[in-house]
Structure 1
């Protein structure tokens, strides 16, 4: 599994000095990743000003989660050294593209890849080059998508990213429905090739350990129960829309015993503790009186 912890925001820089500073920042991050043996292979400017994606090679789930946490620290410290602020906040600007955490997932069985069709069967139920187990894995991710969002998008701010319909650039790449398809970045799950699937619902605030555990559990549940993901590109009646708020996602997680059981393998109370923590976070946010409310309601008659 790999985690794409890109789309990182730093202070926008427009003059020559700022461009030089940003180049030095990105170069130092790349050099640090390579020094640690991660294999930094791509560094891309994303949609928003000061927004970048820096990729590294895949590895086992736990190793990748360790790298995501370490990379966040490296990016933050290197930016601070240059007088900039790096943030992994999902939606720091209302009118600009949000920041995602995309998980690229593949499975092996005794060293043999599970997802490619030719490895296991000549049949391809949905035309994307995947094996039956791979489609069932995707079916599990879609089946549990609403509950997964409580872990993949764990803040109040997360839902301002997934709820966005447009940005200054004209589009938002954050998925709003639990669909899957081929090499199409508008879906919740993208299938770029026959080796992996990319889940695009997560954001920069996610805990990679909890998220990865839940994703693997959801996918394996799909394989065990032979979940059919349906036709690529179609919206599924069972999950037409992802949760609109954090509390909606928490309620979906509370009702999903499979994902709770995954969390509770660490400790029997982890699932309940997480839900209570996130529900309280939502209520603390909801208790605030915002400028928007003052402007809209203060003089209303």
Structure 2
């Protein structure tokens, strides 16, 4: 019996042990939105054989009507019982890859995109580990279960109950995640009212992307059980911090972290510097992938612990890239621009491709900036000559079009569909008349 057959048999054993009757086959569209189809355990063999067809033209960005047939192939390694569902006739899930009817990986499948990028990583003898930080807001819901713009608490950073009124929901989220195999490193109230953070231990990039999709699913479902609505919208409040998806990343070779070098003063290897150089070079092009909605750019403003200018630091949190203090096997590079609306498979793919480009071309980053970038003097700002991240979605899409690496990484199919949809989103937003305009201009002119 080969390894794949062993994995399938393991799934069958777990189904029997846990009394599972229904399996959710999950995947994400190119915008990171989770999709699911339910099957009974009787259809499991059919699904494993790639015989479960669906209409790809009904999924945003997947296929046109004349090329719509696609199929789902579940990854048995992602099998998890959903602990918040009934134990009798229980529910489990598996994350799927999307294939064409002739058995080829569909190039528009985000999970396949990350697999392609990681294949290049493995061909160089490396492994990419990623650890995202998960931030979200909790809102009240109305009698119909719909979210209302009424925050559930007014606590601040690291506050405790009873000020932190989301503590019970956050605890149950953590306990549920632990039942699903997550190793939780920290959970706490964040800076803004109603804002929370849960961090789970880093893992190999594909496993982490799968875990991020599951994390968001768990957060929303457990919040609902507490009569709350969890949103990963980056910036729901004016003049408050927004939610980020800080991406901590490191490269390992033969079990050793190659970003670490004990012989250097800062503990960073030359490879780490080149990787940072690649991320900085492609920072503008990456932005639309890491910050894919109009609201994303309300977060990327000075003074709210979000990056604005393109630079890096060995310590402070005002730069685009920060190198946390830990060294040895924990040495890592933190990209601080992405937010939780990013598709994890796509952002991880473009991050590592940018970093590899830096390593291959020996791109040396500029000097690190240890001062608060938000409060630099005009003279110092002029000396550093720092470039800006795109200031809105339209500028980010233009920057994406100017960077060939993005198209090369995510495939022409995803690239074209993404741009088409996001330019329309920007156009729809730009044509709307907003409350601010009415309040500012209606009685003045």
TM-score normalised by L of structure 2? 0.61
Residue matched to 2:126: none
Residue matched to 1:136: 274
Q: CA deviation at 1:63?
A: 0.8
**3-state DSSP of counterpart to 1:226:** coil
Write the mapping of 1:117-266 to structure 2, written as runs, cut at 5 A: 117-118=261-262, 122=263, 124=264, 127-163=265-301, 165=302, 171-192=303-324, 193-194=326-327, 195-233=331-369, 240-264=387-411
Does residue 77 in structure 1 map to residue 217 in structure 2? no
> Relative CO higher for 1 or 2, CA cutoff 8 Å, sep ≥ 6?
1
Give the whole-Å Cα distance in 2 for the aligned partners of 1:128 and 1:288: 49
**3-state DSSP of counterpart to 2:388:** coil
Structure 1: unaligned runs, 5 residues or longer: 166-170
Q: CA deviation at 1:114?
A: 1.3
Give the whole-Å Cα distance in 2 for the aligned partners of 1:18 and 1:80: 20
Residue matched to 1:68: 212
Bigger fraction of residues in strand? 2
TM-score normalised by L of structure 1? 0.88
Higher-Rg structure is 2
Q: CA deviation at 1:183?
A: 2.2
**3-state DSSP of counterpart to 2:231:** coil
- Judge conservation of contact 2:154–2:193 (CA < 8 Å) in 1: no
Write the mapping of 1:258-297 to structure 2, written as runs, cut at 5 A: 258-264=405-411, 268-297=412-441
Give the whole-Å Cα distance in 2 for the aligned partners of 1:14 and 1:239: 36
Q: CA deviation at 1:21?
A: 5.9
Give the whole-Å Cα distance in 1 for the aligned partners of 2:172 and 2:133: 18
Change (3 A) 1:14 1:269: closer
- Judge conservation of contact 1:21–1:82 (CA < 8 Å) in 2: no
**3-state DSSP of counterpart to 1:97:** coil
Give the whole-Å Cα distance in 2 for the aligned partners of 1:239 and 1:221: 21
**3-state DSSP of counterpart to 1:139:** helix
Give the whole-Å Cα distance in 2 for the aligned partners of 1:224 and 1:9: 43
> How many residue pairs are counted as aligned between the two chains?
286
Residue matched to 2:104: none
**3-state DSSP of counterpart to 1:117:** coil
Residue matched to 1:29: 173
- Judge conservation of contact 1:141–1:219 (CA < 8 Å) in 2: yes
Change (3 A) 1:187 1:34: same
CA RMSD of aligned residues (A): 2.3
- Judge conservation of contact 2:154–2:164 (CA < 8 Å) in 1: no
- Judge conservation of contact 1:46–1:52 (CA < 8 Å) in 2: yes
Q: CA deviation at 1:239?
A: 5.9
Give the whole-Å Cα distance in 2 for the aligned partners of 1:9 and 1:105: 28
Give the whole-Å Cα distance in 2 for the aligned partners of 1:17 and 1:101: 25
Residue matched to 1:168: none
Give the whole-Å Cα distance in 1 for the aligned partners of 2:287 and 2:154: 35
Deviates more, 1:291-300 or 1:270-279: 291-300
- Judge conservation of contact 2:164–2:189 (CA < 8 Å) in 1: no
